[in-house]
Structure 1
Amino acid sequence: MVMRIAAGFLALAGLSACGIQGGQNPNYRYGSDSPYDNYRQAREVALTTGNEPPRRVPVALPVEAPTAAEIAGPRLMQTVARQYRGGAARPAPVQTTPSGAPLPVVQSGPYAGSTPVLVRYAYAADHAPGTVVWQRAGGSAATAARVCASYADADRAQMAFLAAGGPDVDPRGMDPDGDGFVCGWDPARWRVETL
């Protein structure tokens, strides 16, 4: 019984120390004289009185402008990988080979008429194997070799890497050098005009 009373007292003391009992939530306090707080006050008055609310919302400076890379959007190979994982919000732009020809499509099998994801990724990733594109932390060649041994070939390992979030992330440590190619997978073999 004494333990319950002590636990209740400690819980009450903890809540009062947080200021919750006093209604001191900093998200709902109009204590400062910042331009944004003045805007919020004017907006609340307008909403409760039926007047016209302020049209301009002040922004606290410095505002971080988007970088050129953010404006350009994700690299094409990231879009291809995201589509492979099923998370594409919109279709990728039509891709062509360096000669300007459309990417090759499979002529037979269950996906006839489509371009395999490894072909699309090979063309989108236009850098050479071994070129550091993503900074990886904590990966090692030994871990990558152990994971790669669980796949029948490099193609399956590369597809698993893309499905697991690659090349943006490397949760299994398959890409310690950060080039976006795992288990010895070589994009040159997939950069072909016909399949």
Structure 2
Amino acid sequence: MRNLAILGLAPLLALAACGENTGWNPNYSAMHNGSRYAEYLQQREQALHGRGPVPDAIPVQLPVRAPTAAEIAGVPAKKPGQMTVTTRPVTARPATAAPVAASGATPVLVRYAHQESQNPGQTKYPRSGVSANAAARACLAFPSVNAAQTAFIAAGGPVIDPRGLDPDGDGFVCGWDPRPYRQSRL
């Protein structure tokens, strides 16, 4: 039993012998190098333990291996030599018409133009609290009126209008006109 008690106390004695709080701590290795910063650290530790006044200022000390201004600036890069550019003649190819989409692959805007029968400016969807100025500012975020109308349809269309792009309630945003899309392309 006595041996068991000794074995139980041995780890505690070993930890106490480490001396964590007796002045040597690897976190405070700068405290003993004789610099102004070391003096500051020692004064700060004494103040934290209530054994001295709080230091007035933190001294600035550069690290031993701090780079100089010249090292930071580096060596200027060499200017590239003169380059020559050669051109090749371009042969013109005749323009071909874009293929017409089949009826089963109707684009979103064409489908929407045929689905909505009203013309621009004719209110079909009730709106409240939507500002025409705010809608005009929101339209500036889109590269084209087609992109704005496509995004409007994708976000829920005229029934929801979450971005407030359709203040007049006609179902068309940013000046998009459905009439050209309603014409037959035969």
Give the structure-1-normalised TM-score.
0.42
- Whose radius of gyration is greater, 1 or 2? 2
When normalised by structure 2's length, the TM-score is: 0.44
Q: Give the structure, 1 or 2, with the largest relative contact order (CA under 8 Å, sep 6 or more).
A: 1
